[in-house]
Amino acid sequence: GAVVSQHPSWVICKSGTSVKIECRSLDFQATTMFWYRQFPKQSLMLMATSNEGSKATYEQGVEKDKFLINHASLTLSTLTVTSAHPEDSSFYICSARGMGGQETQYFGPGTRLLVL
Amino acid sequence: GQNIDQPTEMTATEGAIVQINCTYQTSGFNGLFWYQQHAGEAPTFLSYNVLDGLEEKGRFSSFLSRSKGYSYLLLKELQMKDSASYLCAVMDSNYQLIWGAGTKLIIKP
């Protein structure tokens, strides 16, 4: 299957700082990338969907000014958690889908964020 | 509204067979996916069904009935490493994935 990478895999930061997470599709062009958040023992929660070159579409309840998403190329999307607080501590996972609407979504390995 | 239902938790014995069911009600249908997620890890793709019938891939098989809004994932010759959550997801008419809450599968020796 296709390979999606995420960096960093672990982040520990102080409250109030901003954290950037990168998501890359390594062997295919991802027209659409998705950002999920998962709290311990809970389901995946879709945060936003981004298409290359356009603004991300955020799910209800997700603050777009707090979670900045940039999808500048067909292989890279970034999620920036601005002014992170302890309640933002979670497992952030990106997934990428290639050309054609029915393409499978492939997930990155996830980024664990701990805000102290 | 859109809804995906699957059991919360199942227990099975090593070497046995287990079937995880998924029923769905969505606005449109462009395929059903099964993903495996081990604790603390991201989901990995297992299968995709868009036509009715059974798709077999090694020890894992996935079945779809579009008329019944029903799918199952069948795991044979269970191994301890199969202990994980199994996520059912349906792609709706907008090509968005609607996720089930996942089924936690516990394998006992």
Question: Looking at residue A53, what is its pLDDT?
Answer: 81
Question: Looking at residue A27, what is its pLDDT?
Answer: 87
Q: Which residues of A touch B44 (CB under 8 A)?
A: 107
Residues B59-77: what's their mean pLDDT? 97
Q: Which residues of A touch B95 (CB under 8 A)?
A: 101-102
Question: Looking at residue A58, what is its pLDDT?
Answer: 95
Q: Which residues of B touch A44 (CB under 8 A)?
A: 43, 87, 99, 102
* C-alpha count within 13 angstroms, C-beta hemisphere, residue A110: 19
Q: Which of B6, B29, B37 to mutate to test the interface with A (most CBs of A within 10 A)?
A: B37
Q: Whole-angstrom distance between the N-terminal and C-terminal Cα of chain A? A: 36
Enumerate chain B positions whose Cβ falls within 8 A of a Cβ in A: 30-31, 33, 35, 40-45, 48, 50, 87, 91, 95-97, 99-102
Question: Looking at residue A31, what is its pLDDT?
Answer: 86
Contact between A71 and A88 under an 8 Å Cβ cutoff? The reply is no
Q: Which residues of A touch B101 (CB under 8 A)?
A: 43
Q: Which among B60, B54, B100, B75 has a CA at the least distance from the CA of B11? A: B75
Tokens 């008329």 locate to B67
Look at B45 and A46 and tell me if their CB atoms are within 8 Å.
no
Measured in degrees and rounded to the nearest 5, phi and psi for residue B54 equal -105, 130
Q: Which residue has the higher pLDDT, B95 or A56?
A: A56
Look at B50 and A102 and tell me if their CB atoms are within 8 Å.
yes
Q: Which residues of A touch B45 (CB under 8 A)?
A: 1, 104-107
Return the C-alpha torsion angle B91, A45, B1, B63, nearest 10: 40
Question: Looking at residue B83, what is its pLDDT?
Answer: 98
Q: How many residues are listed for chain B in this entry? A: 109
Whether the pLDDT of residue A102 is over 80: the answer is no
CB pairs under 8 A between A and B: 41
Contacts of A22 (CB under 8 A, 6+ apart): A6, A7, A76, A77, A78
Question: Looking at residue A1, what is its pLDDT?
Answer: 65
Of A46, A102, A106, the CB nearest to B45: A106
Question: Looking at residue B65, what is its pLDDT?
Answer: 98
Measured in degrees and rounded to the nearest 5, phi and psi for residue B78 equal -55, 140
Whether the pLDDT of residue B1 is over 80: the answer is no
Cα(A87)–Cα(A115) distance, integer angstroms: 8
What percent of chain B shows pLDDT beyond 90? 87
Q: Which among B83, B81, B89 has a CA at the least distance from the CA of B105? A: B83
Amino acid letter for position B9: E
Q: Which residue has the higher pLDDT, A31 or B20?
A: B20
Query: Is the N-terminal amide bond of A8 cis, ω within 30° of 0?
Result: yes
Q: Tens of pLDDT along B21-49?
A: 999 999 899 899 999 999 989 999 999 99
